[in-house]
Structure 1
Amino acid sequence: MKVSIYGAGRVGISVAFSLLHYGIVDELVIVDIDKNRAEGEALDLLHASAVFKYCNIYAGKPEDTKDSDFIIITAGRAQRPGETRLELLADNVRIIKEISENIVRYSKDSLVINITNPVDVLTYFIWKFSGLHSSKVFGTGTTLDTARLRALLAKHLDISPASIHAYVIGEHGDSEFIPLSNAMVGGVPLTDFCEKCEKKAGDTIPCISFEKIANEVKTAAYKIIEKKGATNLAIGAVTAKLIDSIWKNERRVWTPSVYIEDVYIGYPAVLGRKGVEKVMHLTLEKDEQEKLEYSKAVIRRAIKEIEAAMLI
């Protein structure tokens, strides 16, 4: 399997390093505008591959991504002092446009996974610029948010996250939310599970409100960035597992950023070797559906701002 990663920053290299643990990649190409950094990271990863399955890892140019099975996009730049959010977003859209054109030129049969934020907006533009079918272009969406949710619930419910089926959906951002009506623990609705909880005051891990858990999930990235400057390890691990699952054709349900109606948004979907094979249809409560529509509106507004500013 061949994987090409655009971006040799923390996230891109975390994805690459996590992929080595699965032993499924034969060729790994790191593409970055800073060629020295890409070469240094590729060499470091190549040495690490000696204790995993050997993988041919090197820094390359866009043409070296030819015939990739997966294209991972983590490229983008940080906000400069005094710069507006729209100016930053417009610049990153230009970067995404160039990458999209290279994907069509060299590896149009690959599956494209975008991680660069704002992930839903930029995934939409990758799809638009590349002209690829929406089943082959998707973002990491709320997959990490969902993983965070299940990790927190597992801790507080004292049960394996593998037995928790709960999602975070919507924009990967402030308007994301947890549809509690669809949350299950071992086949039991989460709300019912908690009503019959036997924990008592004074327990080592007391019960916690859903609102508090939702807030912890939503603010997790801010806390991590405040303490270490960036989030990279968890998204690297989640993306690597996503690729492993797709390559093995597990047809597992994830919450990637997928095309629904006219936007890309985090929503449960079945991913397999063909990409997005099926978008699930959740039955939401009225207030949950309103939250989803609001989240779509937030993404649409950002897309329109960019299209107007760049005359796309």
Structure 2
Amino acid sequence: MKVSIYGAGRVGVSVAFSLLHYSIVDKIVMVDIDKNRSIGEAMDLLHASGVFKYCNIYAGDPSDIIDSDFVVITAGRAQRPGETRLDLLIDNVKIIKSISEDIKKYAKDSIVINITNPVDVLTYLIWEFTEFDPRKIIGTGTTLDTLRLRTLLAQQCGVSSASIHAYIIGEHGDSEFMPLSSATIGGVLLRDYCADCDMKAEGSSTCLDFEKIVEEVRTAAYKIIEKKGATNLAIGAITAKLIDSIWKNEKRVWTPSVLIDDVYIGFPAVLGRNGVEKIVKLKLADEEQELLEHSKSVIRKAIEEIKKVLETKNSPLDRISGT
């Protein structure tokens, strides 16, 4: 299996290093505008591969992504402290457009996984730029947010996260939310599980403050960026697991950014060798459906705004790229 990774920064390297642990990749190509950096990181990763299954890892040019089974996109300007993901949009679209042209030229049969933020908007644009089957274009969406949610619930409930089926859906950003009506632990609705918990306060119907937990998930990236400058380890791990799961055709349900109606958005979907095999039809409560529609509108608005920029001569995109 061959994986090409655009971006040899912390996220790209974390994806590559995490992939080595699964011992399924035969070749990894690191592509970065800073060739020296990509060469150095590739050498370091190659030496690490001796602990795992041997994997040929090298720094390449766009033409080297040919015959890739997966192309992972991590390239883009880093998110700054206090900055929303949508603030990144103008700076990152030009980069994404160039990468999309490379993929269309050299790796048209690959499954493309986008990590670069704002992930939902940029994944939509990758789909438009490449004109690929939308089942083969996915974003990491709310997979990491869902992982964060289950980790926090496991911590507080004293239950393995593997036994928790709760999702964060919507925009990977400020309008994301947890559909509590479908969240379960061991097949029991989360609300009912918590109502039967010995740890709940007297007179309380639940042992958890769900809104507080979701807010902690929603703001986790901002806190990590403030402390260390970037989020990289968890997103690297979850992306590698996505690739492992897809390659093995496990048909597991994840919450990637997938095409629903006219936007890409984080939502439960079955992933297999063909990419998106099926969108899971969650039965949302009325208020949850309203939150989902609001989240769609946030993404849709950003897409419309960037399309106007793309159609404008002497746009910020031209000035950023120097063209």
Same-fold call, TM cutoff 0.5: yes
Match of 1:36 in 2: 36
Match of 1:268 in 2: 268
CA distance in 2, matches of 1:88, 1:209: 32
| CA distance in 1 between partners of 2:195 and 2:252 (Å) | 30
**CA distance in 1 between partners of 2:271 and 2:15 (Å):** 18
Deviates more, 1:89-98 or 1:28-37: 89-98
Q: Does 1:96 align with 2:73?
A: no
**SS state at 1:271 partner:** strand
Amino acid across the alignment from 1:68: S
Name 2:219's counterpart in structure 1.
219
The 1:256–1:85 alpha-carbon spacing in structure 2 relative to 1, beyond 3 Å, is closer
Mapped contact 1:86–1:306 kept (Cα < 8 A): no
Q: Distance in 2 between matches of 1:128 and 1:179?
A: 29
Note the 1:228-239 alignment, pairs <5 A: 228-239=228-239
**Paired residue for 1:14?**
14
Kept after mapping to 2: 8 A contact 1:252/1:271: yes
Q: Secondary structure at the match of 1:191?
A: helix
Unaligned 5+ segments in structure 1 are none
**Aligned-partner residue type, residue 189 of structure 2:** P
Matched-pair contact (CA < 8 Å) for 2:154–2:160 = yes
Equivalent in the alignment of 1:77: 77
Q: In structure 2, do the counterparts of structure 1 residues 164 and 66 end up closer, same or farther at CA, with 3 Å as the change threshold? A: same
Q: Deviations over 1:17-60 (max 9, x none)?
A: 00000000000000000000000000000000000000000000
Distance in 2 (alpha carbons) for counterparts of 1:211 and 1:85 = 21
Shift of the alpha carbon at 1:199? Answer: 1.9
**Structure 2 counterpart of 1:23:** 23
Aligned residue for 1:62? 62
Find the residue that maps to 2:21 and give its secondary structure: helix
* 3-state SS, counterpart of residue 112 of structure 1: strand
Q: Is the 8 A contact 1:65 1:107 kept in 2?
A: yes
Write the distance in 1 (CA, Å) between the matches of 2:56 and 2:80. Answer: 36
Amino acid of the structure 2 residue aligned with 1:284: L
Distance in 1, matches of 2:86 and 2:278, equals 33
Query: Structure 1 residue 80: deviation in Å?
Result: 8.6
In 1, Cα distance between the equivalents of 2:215 and 2:80?
28
- Equivalent residue of 1:42, what SS? helix
Task: Calculate the TM-score normalised by the size of structure 1.
Answer: 0.95
Number of the residue aligned with 1:258: 258
Aligned pairs for 1:152-301 within 5 A: 152-199=152-199, 207-301=207-301
How many Å separate the matches in 2 of 1:97 and 1:201? 53
Identity of aligned residues (%): 72
Q: In the TM superposition, what whole-angstrom CA distance separates every residue of 1:126-156 from its partner, at most 9, and x where no partner exists?
A: 0000000100001000000000000000010
> What secondary structure sits across from 1:258 in the alignment?
strand
- 2:85 & 2:234 partners in 1: Cα distance? 25
Once the 2 structures are TM-superposed, how far is the Cα of residue 94 of structure 1 from its aligned partner? Answer: 1.2
Secondary structure of the residue aligned to 1:22 is coil
Between the aligned partners of 1:86 and 1:44, the Cα distance in structure 2 is 33
Aligned position for 2:321: none
State the SS of the aligned residue for 1:211.
Answer: helix
Structure 2 gaps of 5+ residues are: 313-323
1:112 to partner: Cα distance: 0.1
How many Å apart are 1:7 and its aligned residue?
0.4
- Give, in whole Å, the separation in 1 of the partners of 2:158 and 2:84: 44
> Is residue 130 of structure 1 aligned with residue 163 of structure 2?
no
Question: Which whole-Å CA distance do the structure 2 matches of 1:268 and 1:174 have between them?
Answer: 18
- Rounded to whole Å, the distance in 1 between the matches of 2:85 and 2:268 is 29
When the two structures are aligned, how many residues end up with a matched partner? 308
What is the CA–CA distance in structure 2 between the aligned matches of 1:191 and 1:89, rounded to whole Å?
A: 37
The 1:227–1:96 alpha-carbon spacing in structure 2 relative to 1, beyond 3 Å, is same
Deviation at 1:91, TM superposition (A): 3.2
C-alpha deviations, 1:193-231, integer Å up to 9, x for none? 0000112669xxx94311111111111111111111110
Q: 1:200 to 1:291 in 2, by over 3 A?
A: closer
Which amino acid is the alignment partner of residue 289 of structure 2? Q
Paired letter, 1:51: V
Asked if 2 retains the 8 angstrom alpha-carbon contact of 1:270 and 1:279, the reply is: yes
Counterpart contact for 1:156–1:207, Cα < 8 Å:
no
For 2:5, what is the secondary structure of its paired residue? strand
Paired with 2:294 and 2:279, the residues of 1 have a C-alpha distance of 19
Match of 2:307 in 1: 307
Secondary structure of 2:281 counterpart: coil
